[in-house]
Copies of this chain bind each other. A is one copy, B any other.
Amino acid sequence: MKVKVSRKAHFNAAHRLYRQDWSFEENEATFGKCNNPHYHGHNYELIVSVTGEIDPQTGYVIDMKILKDIIRSEVEDAFDHKNLNIEVPEFKELNPTAENIAVVIYNKIKPKLKRELELEITLYETPRNFVTFTGK
């Protein structure tokens, strides 16, 4: 009997969408105002979902306190109030689109979970735009 348990979290960050190997004009054509060289920013809302069997002893799939601590150390401490392009090593060479941020978060959290647990990352860049990554 598998249940998916989800935990919401959030972080604020500045970012700029662009490729260093493209000209400013190429970046402007593709990324528009997201290519602002002075950066803009978002309140990122995050949902981390873990799917697994209910432990018959505790009634938990995973202790939410453990999941909360993993999210804090892997995501909030690493990304909150940061400039993603400059201060977060994963985005030194990777464009910090919502899609790529979700994949990076997935790759940071997955190794902290027991192997049999499945992971899904949903990331809201704005209340109107969001992405979901399940590792597949």
Contacts and interface: CB of A to CB of B under 8 A. Distances in A.
A108 interface: no
Chain A interface size band reads: 35 or more
A1 to B, nearest CB: 6
A7 B4 CA distance: 19
A113 interface: no
A10 B42 CA distance: 11
A107 to B, nearest CB: 10
A96 B60 CA distance: 10
Contact of A42 (B17, B43, B54): B43
Contact of A64 (B41, B58, B129): B129
Interface in A5-61: 5-10, 12-15, 17, 19, 30-34, 36, 38-43, 45, 49, 54, 57-61
